Structure 1
């Protein structure tokens, strides 16, 4: 058993969990190409498993809820806490993100000139779409994403803003979270407004991570806060469950109540494994997953544009049926991992926030708070 102090926010297993999440997302995107090949092995046996890789998104959001809650409470005693908090988030997210947009554009022009592809096919975006992508506003403004994974970063940015508002009234942080959670509950269950692309839809996922932070560190002013917040998530599951007659949608994805149950299970896993945190983190498999977790943001930003070109090239040369797709998929995983590591070293690591000094070590490592697909 670990002898770690379970009242601190430092949680070594978050990196391996990020690794699980990014690998699930990559398998989803890469296996989609195999499903298109019509191969029975892939369609009948592999795809039914990998098609749920989008749950890596939910896991990323839960982890982000935990880490941003820790960052928020680590900022309370800073001068100008709102500015300090948002500047760290900006520095952490935007520079690598903008560089990834440059990568998308460069690869797009290469496709146009080498393969003689129409620019309208490669870049089906308007100037407004590009502006929204540059500012991470494509979610709430319903603009087209330059990279299909960017939508979740827009959700992340909105989440940061919601959390940062609490810094204006530090003593009422929990009251703000409870009030916002109730508003999101009402909007998700009763409003007919178009909420797609807003943090309102995904707030319960983040909330599961916030609750895990409260229960692990005990930093709440009101002891009943975590139970109350969990109750809101459960209440939304019950209310939304009545809106569905099936568990799986036509596109093969689980309905929202099942996704929220998955997030609650992620929260429960964080709580259950906390005491064994450092012991499990020393396992070889955990260290391997931690490597993917550390570079998960860079992998997240680059695996689609890089992987897409790999699949397109192999498809033109050899085709993607059966074992050829499996070999191409493995090659894409390896090449994208290598490229993601290089991207991390050159374009992400220089912008990593240094750990904020804290006598209680209550701030986690300066690693990706959360990303999703």
Structure 2
């Protein structure tokens, strides 16, 4: 039976259009939004809680880390944990906010570099570590074939219809398609008007594509997920320029899209969890995710402080990459030695420690190395001229030989002179006219 994460693969600044309620915040380096780091770690822990307490790998004995359905192991907590997959929705809204914020004033090359440096180092390590764990203990999930693992290192396994080393990787391909779409705005230069236009066009296109279900446009525009990213971008514009009626409208329409998304997914999840599912808890949690980022955008979370939150936010990505299949394997191995709740605590703490080690000793040094290499590559690319330059030597050899000057004696002959004038007039008439 497919996991829930697999089921989710469902069939410069220009003048603003309206005067913001407050002037734009000054340009330059902005203080770090510590509350944003806090929201990140909350989103990650919600997903971990769902996978360990609300799902456990599946309702069947062979698939579940607990060898029984999660609702049997956690009869009370599972009723809440079954819906905390909505942490992914919070991730998507945060992503729209952060990508809009971090790409302001950047070139397309810098935008590309920042995404590669941010995503790949920890991901490469997670792919290899998860594969190693599944090879040693193929008790909950089996490892992929070597060629499929190698393709996973590109993060492009989904378009090739190859399984992921860990099921949570499906969200990375959703993120990459968002980056691809938003790169069009970065290419032109990120401004208030362009981001608003992008949000409106993506919303309208998502509705049209969802109505007709055209395969490729549906795959590219992602109408199931577009509302989260669009809302996040609109919320960042609220944070930077102040709320307007247009931005409120964009967020409201995106929320309505999201209500439909989580309602449909809750129905599809019933089979994987082995019990009926209601849509309203997922709608409530998804709405809380919207309200949390909205509170950040409106300055209601400016009181949040603490350097530990910045550290916790840095652990979010490696924690997300590592926790599912490795965590399930650990639960299966230790389930006879610890009671369920202590085991959940131990596995969560272990995954947090592993995330810190990956961040400190893999992600940071490898990201710095990759960033330097890409910076040099982009600099070399900028040094090359945009238009091809002809070889001067080849140009000289390609020039026609100069016309031979007439004999001075021939010029004094009237008959010869008349012939020469006629030949010149004929050559002039036959020469093509060049437009200025």
TM range, smaller chain: 0.7 to 0.9
CA contact (8 A) 1:237 1:257 kept: no
Deviation at 1:144, TM superposition (A): 1.1
Paired with 1:182 and 1:353, the residues of 2 have a C-alpha distance of 40
RMSD: 3.7
When normalised by structure 1's length, the TM-score is 0.73
State the Cα distance separating 1:291 from its structure 2 match.
4.0
Question: Match for residue 109 of structure 1?
Answer: 135
SS of 1:280 mapped into structure 2: coil
Task: Tell me whether 88-97 or 32-41 shows the greater mean CA deviation.
Answer: 32-41
Deviations 1:30-78 (A, max 9, x none): 1233765358774420111111121110111111110000012131xxx
Which residue does 2:236 correspond to in 1? 213
Describe how 1:176-325 pairs up with structure 2 within 5 A: 176-191=198-213, 193=215, 195=218, 199-218=222-241, 225-234=246-255, 236=257, 240=260, 250-251=270-271, 262-273=285-296, 274-282=298-306, 291-315=311-335, 318=336, 324-325=339-340
Paired position in structure 1 for 2:118: 92
- 2:39 corresponds to 1:17: yes
Q: Which residue of 1 aligns with 2:392?
A: none
Contact 1:19 1:291 in 2 (8 A): no
Higher RCO, 1 or 2 (CA under 8 Å, sep at least 6)? 1
What secondary structure does 1:277 align onto?
coil
Q: 1:16 to 1:39 in 2, by over 3 A?
A: closer
Look up the match of 1:147: 166
Max Rg structure: 2
Deviation of 1:185 after TM superposition, in Å, equals: 2.2
After TM superposition, the structure 1 stretch with the greater mean CA deviation from structure 2, 94-103 or 258-267, is: 258-267
Confirm or deny: 8 A CA contact 2:40 2:91 kept in the other structure: yes
Cα 1:105–1:234 change in 2 (3 A) is: closer
CA distance in 1, matches of 2:135, 2:353: 23
Indicate conservation of the 8 Å contact 2:71/2:79, yes or no.
Answer: no
Contact persistence 2:227–2:255 (CA under 8 A): no
Report the CA distance between 1:280 and its aligned residue: 2.4
Q: Give a deviation string over 1:241-282, Cα, whole Å, max 9, x none.
A: 9x97x9785246978898677545433333335434342224
* 1:47 matched residue in structure 2: 78
> C-alpha separation between the residues in 2 aligned to 1:163 and 1:256?
31
The question of whether the paired residues in 2 share the 8 Å contact of 1:151 and 1:197 is answered with no
- Residue 58 of structure 1 contacts residue 263 of structure 1 at CA under 8 Å; is this kept in 2? yes
Paired residue total = 325
- Structure 1 residues 169, 260: closer, same or farther in 2, change over 3 A? farther
Q: Which runs of 5+ in 1 are unaligned?
A: 76-80, 355-373
Offset at 1:231?
A: 4.8
Provide closer, same or farther for how the CA distance between residues 15 and 232 of structure 1 changes in structure 2, counting only shifts above 3 A. Answer: same
CA distance in structure 1 between the aligned counterparts of 2:284 and 2:349, rounded to whole angstroms:
32
- Shift in Å, 1:289: 5.5
Q: In the aligned structure 1, how far is the partner of 2:174 from the partner of 2:76?
A: 33
Aligned counterparts of 2:278 and 2:201: Cα–Cα separation in 1: 25
Return the match for 2:363 from 329, 342, 348: 348
State the 1:191 CA deviation. 1.8
TM-score (norm 2): 0.64
Structure 2: runs of 5 or more not aligned = 1-22, 57-64, 370-436
Shift of 1:340: 1.2
Call closer, same or farther: CA 1:272–1:104 in 2, change over 3 Å: closer
